Amino acid sequence: MRSKFLCKAARRSDTVMKKDKTSTLRSLAAQLDIHVSTVSRVLQGDDALASKAASKATITRIRALAAEYGYTPNPHAISLRTRQSRLIGVSVPRLSDIIWATIYEGIEETALSKGYFAYVTNSYDKPDIQNRQLALAQARRVDGLILGDAHTTPETLDFLSKLSIPFVLALRHAGDFLSVTCDDHDGGSQAAAHLFAQGHREVAVIGGSRFTSTGQERTAGFTDFFRQAGHPIPEERVIFSRFDSQAGRETTQKLLAAFPSLTAIYAVNDFAAIGAMGAMREAGITPGVSMALVGYNDTPLASELPIPLSTLRNPVRELGERAMELLLCLLRKEPCQSVVLKPRLVIRESSRYTARALP
């Protein structure tokens, strides 16, 4: 019996073992003269499974050898066999927007801690790129998707309803697909209340992209407040364009030219607000001194600007984490529902200016 053991082990280890290269379940099994299926069950992590499969002593032997050889299971083999990749695809408008980078950090870290593996791609908010990315994700056999670039257009809704891969929306919502968002309407409302309390009645809004729930609702929350307060904002003073600083600059130039009586501007994005600062400066206006300005997102830079920017802070990192958790919940086929987080107004110098004309 002993000789048989030696012979068998020796024979196999010559042909199968590759000491220098990565070890496999089979090579470990051969070393130990134990069947590969037993080794598999022991090394799968689940203690109950391991106990069913082998004796205490054998379990120890297997684990010891695995540790010695630094065995790591081949993920491709596992994916092939189990038909799940543990891969999560994430699509965002632009990773170089710090908000998205931060959301992705939350996603990635949570995925990692749950044994999943995330990757991210830019779609630049362009439908054709979004479609290409989706096809690629499918080709890679992702288990699930987190979509940060949803539009509220019928095309997007239609597209999402046809998607066969489990997914959740992040930051932006659309239709009533599962999503993790921040309460943008409430944020807009907070900004409005803040400016209103300081006497501002002649206000304008830089609304960001019209096709996104964030652009829409951050704007609506603001205008709804003013309407309910009896001071509806004329439509022409609400301009949608994009979320970047150039859009903010150009929009502000238009606004300042068209409405000289303006005392405050609310931009639904900090970058747009920073662009607005530039335009104000060119027009001889100092934010916080001769005009109030409120942004949105609380970019780390907002507090570091020469004139620190009042803004709404979203818990974006948490948003990423929650999105990943929600997706995992969905993948486990447990009942799950959309999450809405709360923004918080951070008041700084840029909105210190008080309108004189209180009614």
Residue ranges that bind a second copy, judged by CB under 8 A: 72-77, 79-80, 85, 94-98, 101-102, 104-105, 108-109, 112, 117-122, 136, 138-141, 245, 249, 271, 274-275, 277-278, 281, 300-301, 304-307
Query: Using CB under 7 A, which of 17, 53, 90, 178 touches DNA?
Result: 53
82-111 positions binding DNA, by CB under 7 A: 82-83
Contact assessment for residue 88 and residue 143, using Cβ atoms and an 8 Å cutoff: yes
For DNA, give the closer residue by CB, 56 or 356.
56
**Strand duo 117-122 + 87-92: pairing:** parallel
Q: Distance between CA atoms of 31 and 14, rounded to whole angstroms?
A: 10
Q: Distance between CA atoms of 154 and 160, rounded to whole angstroms?
A: 10
CA nearest to 324, candidates 79, 83, 109:
109
For DNA, give the closer residue by CB, 74 or 131.
74
Nearest 10 degrees: Cα torsion 328, 332, 333, 334: -80
CA nearest to 271, candidates 251, 247, 287:
247
Query: Using CB under 7 A, which of 17, 24, 218, 242 touches DNA?
Result: 24
For DNA, give the closer residue by CB, 35 or 281.
35
Type of residue found at 359 = P
- State the minimum distance, in angstroms, from the CB of residue 29 to a second copy: 18
Could you give the angle at the alpha carbon of 63 between the alpha carbons of 61 and 69, nearest 5°?
A: 100
Query: Using CB under 7 A, which of 81, 162, 332, 356 touches DNA?
Result: 81
Q: Per CB under 7 A, which region of 43-51, 98-106, 302-310, 315-323 contacts DNA?
A: 43-51
77 binds DNA (CB under 7 A): yes
51 binds DNA (CB under 7 A): yes
Q: Could you tell which of a second copy, DNA, none binds residue 40, using a CB distance below 5 to 8 A set by kind?
A: DNA
- State the minimum distance, in angstroms, from the CB of residue 50 to DNA: 10
Helical H runs in the chain? 2-15, 25-32, 36-43, 47-53, 56-69, 75-82, 98-113, 127-139, 154-162, 184-197, 213-228, 245-258, 270-282, 316-331
Enumerate binding residues for DNA (CB under 7 A). Answer: 22, 24-26, 33-38, 40-41, 43-44, 51-58, 71, 73-74, 77-78, 80-83
